[in-house]
Amino acid sequence: METTLAQEFFPDVRGIITEDDEPVDNIFSEKQQRLLTETLHTSWDGGGRTFFAAANVGVLHSVYEPPLVPDVFVSMDVQPREEWHNKDRKTYFCWEFGKQPEIAIEIVFNRKGGEMQRKLKDYARLNVWYYVVFDPFGELSKTLEGDKLRIYELHHSSYTPMRDFWLEEIGLGLRLWEGEYEDWQGTWIRWCDERGTLLPTGKERAEQERVRAEQERVRAEQERVRAEQEHQRANKEQLRADTAEATIAALQARLREAGLDPNV
């Protein structure tokens, strides 16, 4: 049988489990994952670069090792291929995309996930540039000092804690946000720009557009009123001028009737 180029250079993935149908941890985790992926697809252009953002999808870098499954990951300069039903398209095969993701995010809800031990080493070994750990309910703070949001940057095959929120190599920032998302009030992590301004969700973007449209409508109405007032003012000025001219003409006529020269 003739061997194709893809068969020769890409591993056989027929025996790899790409989905196990296990549910996400909880409702908050599901919402937080969607908040992160949705805002990127709604409000970020990748800085002119293509990108792929996914939640709870396996990342495989070897057929001999189990996949890493970050809660959210972002990979730059890639674009998912079509034919999603194909076995080799159902998950993130690093050899298929030609690279590893740049960002991996883990959301902590207990101390069993190994986010600060095993996963910290696994993502570093995979050469993921930024590793983010979000501890919304302080599970890690019971044993480790630190904030709810920890961002690590890869240096010489190991992670170093970052003091800044800005991921320079990606052109994105991550920050904590206290607010309501899909009727749930809480502390979330949100993407932001270099100034710390949040990337809006689709709903927030629509509301911003509605407010801008309303502001534009009000501005247009104010311009119309100002134009009308200016038109009325001009009419009044013209009326006063016409009245004054008529008064002068009448006075001159009376002077002439009296035999006087009005121009003297």
Q: Which two tokens stand for residue 201?
A: 């969700």
Does the structure show a pLDDT above 90 at 53?
Answer: yes
| CATH architecture of structural domain 5-199 | Alpha-Beta Complex (3.90)
Mean pLDDT of 239-259: 83
Give me the percent of the chain exceeding a pLDDT of 90.
48
pLDDT of residue 264: 64
Q: Give residue-wise pLDDT tens across range 126-160.
A: 999 999 999 988 887 665 555 889 999 999 889 99
Highest mean pLDDT of the ranges 76-85, 187-196, 255-264:
187-196
Does the structure show a pLDDT above 70 at 8?
Answer: no
User: How far is the C-alpha of 66 from the C-alpha of 72, rounded, in Å?
Assistant: 17
User: How far is the C-alpha of 264 from the C-alpha of 260, rounded, in Å?
Assistant: 8
Give the range among 68-72, 94-98, 121-125, 183-187 with minimum mean pLDDT.
94-98
Does the structure show a pLDDT above 90 at 234?
Answer: no
State pTM to two decimals: 0.75
pLDDT tier at 62, thresholds 50, 70, 90 = confident
Does the structure show a pLDDT above 70 at 20?
Answer: no
Give me the percent of the chain exceeding a pLDDT of 70.
83
**Rounded to 10 degrees, what is the CA torsion of 138, 144, 148, 153?**
-150
Mean pLDDT of 88-112: 85
Which runs of E-coded beta strand occur in 122-213?
A: 130-134, 149-155, 158-161, 166-167, 172-181, 184-192
Region of residue 49 (left: phi > 0; alpha: psi -120 to 50; beta: else): beta
Contact 115, 132 (CB under 8 A): no
Phi, psi of 26 (to 5 degrees): -165, 180
Distance, CA of 86 to chain centre: 30
CA atoms within 13 A on the CB side of 190: 21
pLDDT of residue 170: 95
Please give the mean pLDDT across all residues of the chain: 84
pLDDT of residue 257: 83
3-state secondary structure of 62: coil
**Identity at 205, one-letter amino acid code:** R
* Cα distances (Å, whole numbers) of residue 2 to 5, 6, 8, 13: 10, 12, 10, 19
Does the structure show a pLDDT above 60 at 15?
Answer: no
User: How far is the C-alpha of 127 from the C-alpha of 100, rounded, in Å?
Assistant: 7
* Cα distances (Å, whole numbers) of residue 49 to 44, 61, 75, 76, 77: 10, 23, 10, 7, 6
pLDDT tier at 88, thresholds 50, 70, 90 = low
pLDDT of residue 2: 38
pLDDT of residue 113: 64
pLDDT of residue 5: 38
User: How far is the C-alpha of 131 from the C-alpha of 102, rounded, in Å?
Assistant: 8
